Amino acid sequence: MKLRINLMRTLSVLAVTAASCGFVGLAHAADKAPVGNATAAVNKISMCIGCHGIPGYKASFPEVYHVPMIAGQNAEYIVAALKEYAGGTRTFPTMEAIAATLSEQDMADLAAYYSSFK
- Burial class from Cβ neighbours inside 10 Å (0-12, 13-18, 19+) for residue 47 reads middle
CATH at residue 76: 1.10.760.10
Whether residue 38 is found in the same domain as residue 26: no
**pLDDT at residue 100, as a whole number:** 97
Residues 53 and 72 in one domain: yes
pLDDT value of residue 42: 92
pLDDT given at position 62: 60
Query: Does residue 40 share a domain with residue 22?
Result: no
pLDDT averaged over 10-residue windows placed end to end, the chain, 118 residues: 54 49 47 88 90 71 75 95 97 94 97 92
Say what the pTM is: 0.68
**Are 93 and 107 in a shared domain?**
yes
Residues ≥6 apart with Cβ < 8 Å to 17:
none
Domain of 85 in residue numbering reads as 34-115
pLDDT of residue 13: 47
Distance CA 38, CA 115 (A): 9
